[in-house]
Structure 1
Amino acid sequence: MIKEEKNTQTKSKDKKQTPIIEIKDLHKTFGKDNTILKGVNLTVNKGEDLVILGRSGSGKSVTIKCIVGLIEPDQGEISVFGENVLNLSKEELNKIRVKIGFLFQSGALYDSMSVRENLAFTLRAHRRDLNDEEVENEVADALESVGLADAIDKMPSELSGGMRKRIGLARTLILKPEIILYDEPTTGLDTITSKEISELILDIKHKQKTSSIIITHDMACAKMTADRIMVLKDGVIHAEGTYEELEKNEDEWVRSFFE
């Protein structure tokens, strides 16, 4: 009886929780007949790291790009911080975007700029109130948070793949986002570096209280970072649960990710 009452209380508490991201019935087709999303529904709660799994081309990256307006869906609703971003003006959407960090697969650094200049450029574009000394301090703090303070004057071409990921993350963190969208954060990295990036994702979550969606093929990363996992198949969410739950899922296709 006590156990049942506890479960009931937990469910009641969950119902009161307002998702920080909520996607309803999201559809997207490219060209005439390349349908990628066929009605995706998902939520991310405040302080949660949600991992999305799926085969290549299943629409994982398309989904998160729709959240920040990099891709416009054909149908559906995307609510971020309680606002439907698809109904916002460009100015209103930009205010939301400042609160959302997006880590691209490549890190997306400007090759002609030093690490210092990459981070300062991003900060000045959104924080015109800061003077040069304040910008320098923010850049130094962001690099310190990813363990690369010594790389401040390096050029992107001098950085390893793992370092580029960290610098890309520092550039994302410099705006102190409430949400971070990670697109394949460990792709192309060796096992040790991948683990370091996964640990960094967890560290950021705990220190900065971020909420995240993590797109990955790296099951070690998924196991380490996920509070909850969703699996995309044929344009919809096919399965959902914790790593341990999905690892034992009755669906052989779902279990294949965990073998």
Structure 2
Amino acid sequence: MIKEEKNTEKEPKAKSKTPIIEIKNLHKTFGKNNKILKGVNLTVNQGEDLVILGRSGSGKSVTIKCIVGLIEPDKGEIKVFDENVLNLSKSDLNEIRVRIGFLFQSGALYDSMSVRENLAFTLRKHKRDLAPEEIEAEVVEALDNVGLSDAINKMPSELSGGMQKRIGLARTLILKPEIILYDEPTTGLDTITSREISELILDIKHKRKTTSIIITHDMACAKLTADRIMVLKDGVIHAEGTYEELEKSEDEWVRSFFE
């Protein structure tokens, strides 16, 4: 189980060069003139953690929401598991979504449900053939994986921000996704809790062999988790490299993220 050990050292840069996510020429405009994405191109290889940096409003979250169909782009191509998700039927898209975990910035827990009910609801929605005792076992395991077994009967209002993020992550993990999309996983958390969440992201990658895109403003999180970093500027990918490479970039704007 994930909690058994904490390996906070990153593995070497992902050796696999098998693309699991490919985005080509992605465009999205809101309203008449608010052009957010102006031709985003990116590839994420299997087993890789890709961090996307950018100023607020640069389109980071819009990009990952397009991947799972929460936002429909104006044009472009998005291939996940070698399937063009923009051309899929609703049922086929839902099958893809089950293989993709999405950790929302807020954690997105249902306030009226206990922790147990939040996780069980997700299982019942996507795996209707599970018996009640199987659901309970999966819920307990998921909470154990994020170190919060004792929170099973708590309500979201009883949890700290960091605990809510962990429960949100447990709910994502319960479907055993192959890809996880993290939207600002450490926003609003103190330094110690932010590091704990970043370490948990690493643990999940090492144990589950997941592929991830991590949207963040937290440079400590980026340094700890990223195999590769892309920087969004003016609706396109402006720079790409490892943390160490971009930290030494000759581009003053890119380097400003690391100061």
- Asked if Structure 1 and Structure 2 have the same fold, meaning a TM-score greater than 0.5 normalized by the shorter chain, the answer is yes
Q: Distance in 2 between matches of 1:200 and 1:244?
A: 22
Q: Distance in 1 between matches of 2:128 and 2:62?
A: 31
Matched residues, number: 246
Q: Distance in 2 between matches of 1:174 and 1:112?
A: 20
Shift of 1:18: 2.7
Between the two proteins, what is the percent identity of the paired residues? 87
Q: Distance in 2 between matches of 1:232 and 1:205?
A: 24
Q: Distance in 2 between matches of 1:196 and 1:182?
A: 15
Q: Distance in 2 between matches of 1:18 and 1:159?
A: 39
Cα offsets for 1:78-97 (capped at 9, x unmatched)? 00000000000000000000
Q: Distance in 2 between matches of 1:136 and 1:219?
A: 37
Q: Distance in 2 between matches of 1:154 and 1:198?
A: 24
1:165 aligns with 2:191: no
Cα offsets for 1:65-112 (capped at 9, x unmatched)? 000000000010000000000000000000000000000000000000
Query: How is 1:239-258 mapped onto 2 (pairs within 5 angstroms)?
Result: 239-258=239-258
Shift of 1:186: 0.1
Question: 1:146 maps to which residue?
Answer: 146
1:94 aligns with 2:98: no
Consecutive unaligned residues in structure 2, runs of 5 or more: 1-14
Query: What is the DSSP-based 3-state SS (H/G/I as helix, E as strand, rest coil) of the residue aligned with 2:157?
Result: helix
Question: 1:8 maps to which residue?
Answer: none
Question: 1:24 maps to which residue?
Answer: 24
TM-score w.r.t. length of structure 1: 0.94
Q: Distance in 1 between matches of 2:111 and 2:82?
A: 37
Higher relative contact order, structure no. (Cα contacts within 8 Å, ≥ 6 residues apart):
2
Q: Distance in 2 between matches of 1:86 and 1:127?
A: 24
Query: What is the DSSP-based 3-state SS (H/G/I as helix, E as strand, rest coil) of the residue aligned with 1:175?
Result: coil
Larger radius of gyration: 1
Taking only aligned residues, the RMSD between alpha carbons, in angstroms, comes to 1.1
Question: 1:60 maps to which residue?
Answer: 60
Structure 2 counterpart of 1:75, one-letter code? K
Question: 1:84 maps to which residue?
Answer: 84
Query: How is 1:203-242 mapped onto 2 (pairs within 5 angstroms)?
Result: 203-242=203-242
Question: 1:120 maps to which residue?
Answer: 120
Shift of 1:171: 0.1
Report the structure, 1 or 2, having the larger helix content.
1
